[in-house]
Amino acid sequence: MNELDRKIIEALTRDARTSFRSIAAEADKSTDTVINHYRQLTDEGVIRGSTVVLDAGRIGYEGTAAFHIDVSTTTGHTPAQVLDTLIRMPNIIVATKTVGEHDILALAAIHDVRHYTELGREIAAIPGVRSISSNVWAGNPEICPKYFII
């Protein structure tokens, strides 16, 4: 990563729709050079994509929840399979395998208490899930918008 890469990342983090032309003008480089560097950053996976940051409270979400999930390996199911099902569920916004207390962590946007309970039940019903515990908090703070996005 060089100076131009950092400038591109900085500009697009602030506003993903910034034109390559204006980044080029700012960095005193040609637009083609900026586009090439952007493509490389994307191909290398440094930039994983772009998205819009919404105020979840305004689209009907009262809170956020973290589900800590354990997978039963005796049933022949793997954490990877559970993760695959999880990530397709509406309202799950981040999911990852973890090493530590639990096998999987999933963060979800929550409409209300009933929705929280239902979502917990749905996760518990995924084949291979042995147990879940959860934390919930009111409001929808941006969770690491640069990396994970809410």
Instruction: Tell me which residues touch another protein (CB under 8 A).
Output: 9, 12-17, 44-61, 64, 66, 68, 80, 83, 87, 89-102, 105, 109, 111-112, 114-115, 118, 133-137, 141-150
For residues 91 and 110, is the Cβ–Cβ distance under 8 A? yes
d(C-alpha 48, C-alpha 106), whole Å:
19
Cβ proximity to another protein, 32 vs 44, nearer residue: 44
Q: How far is the CB of 96 from another protein (least distance, A)?
A: 4
Cβ proximity to another protein, 72 vs 97, nearer residue: 97
Q: How far is the CB of 24 from another protein (least distance, A)?
A: 16
Q: How far is the CB of 77 from another protein (least distance, A)?
A: 16
Q: How far is the CB of 89 from another protein (least distance, A)?
A: 7
Amino acid at 145: P
Cβ proximity to another protein, 68 vs 77, nearer residue: 68
Q: How far is the CB of 59 from another protein (least distance, A)?
A: 6
Cβ proximity to another protein, 54 vs 72, nearer residue: 54
- 3-class state of residue 109 by DSSP: strand
For residues 98 and 44, is the Cβ–Cβ distance under 8 A? no
Cβ proximity to another protein, 42 vs 75, nearer residue: 42
d(C-alpha 70, C-alpha 10), whole Å:
38
The number of angstroms, rounded, from the C-alpha of 89 to the middle of its chain's C-alpha atoms is: 13
Return all residues near 138 (Cβ < 8 A) that are at least 6 apart: 62, 63
